[in-house]
Chain A
């Protein structure tokens, strides 16, 4: 900074034990004391304004470009009596639709999403350590855990989806004789204006609820156990394992349902898909 040479003796008497000199002259339109500050801040005008404008214009160009080249789909007129085969939801709900194939629809469509959203909202109240805020993945361990969880999640989902498509699963259920005959109440509903019990066979309960819950909870537990033993993680790294599991499952189930589900939502290769099987 520029140091004032003319010192008014009355107010700031010279210290005879010190030497005084002009250190440096700098060009500037404002004092530069603490310029930048501890966080190296910049003026929003022009730095931030420039970038948000550039991003907007770039997005506009890209969006108009995409819209110029690719037409939005429009299929045959709406008719629920003649459903498409396969009938797929929009891509961001295909993960839920994929889950519906593997478990009871209350579990897949309501309970799992509710638990996931609840866990997401609870996350910042569980991990409150702010020491590594603002650093991608927090630590090197965070990166390794992310990569490991990605492979782990994709491998188990692939295995699970193929297993459920085979007859082994159904055969396994048939191995337990008598399950079909036992019924258990699983809920209540309104029938003719009165509350009535839903009675479901035990086989349905085992296949739709018990096994899926045991498998999902078990796989998450196994993941956390491996991460715990291998990396000795802190709370954030545990959260990274769980969130990565969620994010990878979210996207990977979409990919499976979109590109590997053909007629009757059965597994097929992407090149064998029937026409209109991709909801775009």
Chain B
């Protein structure tokens, strides 16, 4: 959209205002407090774009540059990112819910009701925690399918796939323990089915599993308190740790999976004489000849 030209009499004061504004911003950006927080200038040059990524605590998990492929919506559908965001939102809403919920068999159900009647935005808080939990299970599954169908589990990302499978199981357990905490009939059905599955373990492990899940012979108050401990501390801590490993391995394994090279068949990446890599055509030998393994795929 083109702005109409600024009429003559206004131009001078406007320019002046912009100048003052710039000077004020510069003053702030040159001030010791600003510089103590932001360790490099605004990232509008390539150098500063690189610096901001490794100088910031929050950004340094991400690389300075990403493959174009990483940002293609129809390559990842953003499902891993969405899963992580849902976990963050669940942590935040979960902490608020902890202020409002007592994990005792006498009070839990009433606390759930009070969220809808006596707490400002309590129902919205509970709704968002509930739906985010369901969505997280869904997205973690879809993310696994995406990684599988794009071949993202292949080396060097093989171990990270295993970490992902563990995270899938942890997510299910996290969601399941939360499901029990409403202490309504849905929870009763769930814990009954869950305890039956645990009790089905072979040999005498079954009995131990059932006791471990229920904390008693039948679902009751001891069940609720152990489900609570798992849900608010043990499992989130495990997920948080494994997510850390998962993300760290993405970096170490060379970023998100991508087609080997600039995507022309029968090309290969070779180390360049100037350092770095360059793309070279492979002379057609025979149609069956295997492609050499590109160096970027070699485990670092």
A binding-site residues for B, Cβ under 8 Å = 29-30, 34, 37-49, 51-52, 55-56, 59-60, 63-64, 66-68, 70-80, 83-84, 87-93, 96-97, 100, 104-106, 108-111, 117, 120-121, 123-125, 127-138, 142, 146, 187-190, 195, 236, 239-240, 243, 247, 250, 276, 279
Contact = CB atoms under 8 A, between A and B. Distances in A.
A236 to B, nearest CB: 7
B109 A59 contact: no
Nearest to B205: A110
A212 to B, nearest CB: 14
B145 to A, nearest CB: 6
B219 A59 contact: no
A83 B192 contact: yes
Contacts of B220: 80
Nearest to A195: B204
A187 B20 CA distance: 84
A110 B197 contact: yes
| Most A Cβ at <10 Å: residue of B113, B165, B206 | B165
Contacts of B82: 55, 59
Per DSSP, chain B at the interface is: helix
A79 B188 contact: yes
Given A39-B261, A133-B154, 19 more contacts: A34-B276, A41-B67, A42-B68, A43-B49, A48-B71, A64-B124, A87-B189, A89-B194, A93-B193, A105-B197, A106-B202, A110-B202, A111-B202, A121-B162, A124-B161, A124-B162, A131-B290, A142-B149, A189-B203
A48 B66 contact: yes
B232 interface: no
Contact of A100 (B135, B197, B261): B197
B257 A134 contact: yes
B226 interface: no
Interface in B67-93: 67-71, 75, 78, 81-82, 85-86, 89
B278 A38 contact: yes
Contacts of A80: 188, 191-192, 218-220
B244 interface: no
Contacts of A240: 149
Nearest 8 Cβ contacts at the A-B interface: A124-B158, A109-B197, A67-B127, A72-B130, A87-B189, A105-B200, A75-B185, A41-B65
B186 A133 contact: no
Given A92-B137, A97-B193, A125-B158, A44 B218 contact: no
Given A30-B46, A92-B137, A78 B258 contact: no
6 contacts: A42-B67, A43-B46, A43-B64, A44-B49, A84-B188, A146-B149
Contacts of A84: 185-186, 188-189
A188 to B, nearest CB: 6
Given A77-B109, A78-B188, A79-B188, A41 B148 contact: no
A80 B46 CA distance: 63
A38 B172 CA distance: 40
B184 A75 contact: yes
Counting chain B residues whose Cβ lies within 8 A of the other chain, the interface size class is 35 or more
A87 B193 CA distance: 8
A251 to B, nearest CB: 8
B193 A138 contact: no
Interface of B: 43, 45-47, 49-50, 52-53, 59, 62-71, 75, 78, 81-82, 85-86, 89, 105, 108-109, 112-113, 116, 123-124, 126-132, 134-135, 137, 141, 145, 148-155, 157-159, 161-162, 165, 169, 172, 175-176, 179, 182-194, 196-204, 206-207, 218-220, 257-262, 269, 276-279, 290-291, 293, 296-297
A38 B165 contact: no
Contacts of B65: 37, 41-44
A189 B207 contact: yes
Contacts of B191: 80
Nearest to A125: B158
Contacts of A83: 188-189, 192
A187 B203 contact: yes
Contacts of B276: 34, 37
A40 B68 contact: yes
A38 B182 CA distance: 53
Nearest to A48: B66
Given A38-B278, A110-B201, A187-B202, A73 B186 contact: yes
B201 A63 contact: no
Given A80-B219, A89-B190, A90-B175, A38 B109 contact: no
B262 A55 contact: no
B154 A71 contact: no
A183 to B, nearest CB: 18
B269 A71 contact: no
A69 to B, nearest CB: 9
A91 B179 CA distance: 11
A10 B27 CA distance: 47
Contacts of A49: 59
